[in-house]
Amino acid sequence: TSEHTYAEKDICVLFCFHSDGSIELNLTKKQERPNRGWEVFPLHKPCKLSKKDADEFGSKKIPFPPQCWVKVCGENGPGTTAVLRYYVPLIGVECQCKEICLSRNLNTATASPQYIQESAAIPQSGGDMNIDGL
């Protein structure tokens, strides 16, 4: 978007909320591949999006889409893994995609926070989620 000029659009994941009414990003999962020299962490805890906020997006109460901010930092050094592939399980959703992959190339990584954002008002039964900034 014009507000987030560093964000990149990637895949679109169709999903439905579980009964608790939130989506959480599990950023503590042990990674299968080494990601030396990289840090991935939420800028707020818990890193959750609520169904209520998604349903009310576009109203006067919630004019902006709900967001989970995630910061991705890569150390520019000889021991750093050149390409980050950080798998994040999605908790609280019903979908075929059980986790998303944050992927960054050390040469193009920026100091700006990367984020995951819902795209539009999500109907009661579910909707779609754009994965941005990956």
- Phi then psi dihedrals of residue 53, to 5 deg: -65, -40
**Is there a contact between 59 and 33 (Cβ–Cβ < 8 Å)?**
no
Of 9-13, 43-47, 89-93, the poorest mean pLDDT is in: 9-13
> What is the gyration radius of the CA atoms in the chain, in angstroms?
15
Residue 18: pLDDT band (50, 70, 90) is: confident
Per-residue pLDDT band for 77 (boundaries 50, 70, 90) equals confident
- Structure-token pair, residue 41: 């962490």
Q: What is the pLDDT of residues 80-113, one digit of tens each?
A: 999 999 999 988 888 777 888 888 888 755 444 4
For 4-9, what is the mean pLDDT?
Answer: 55
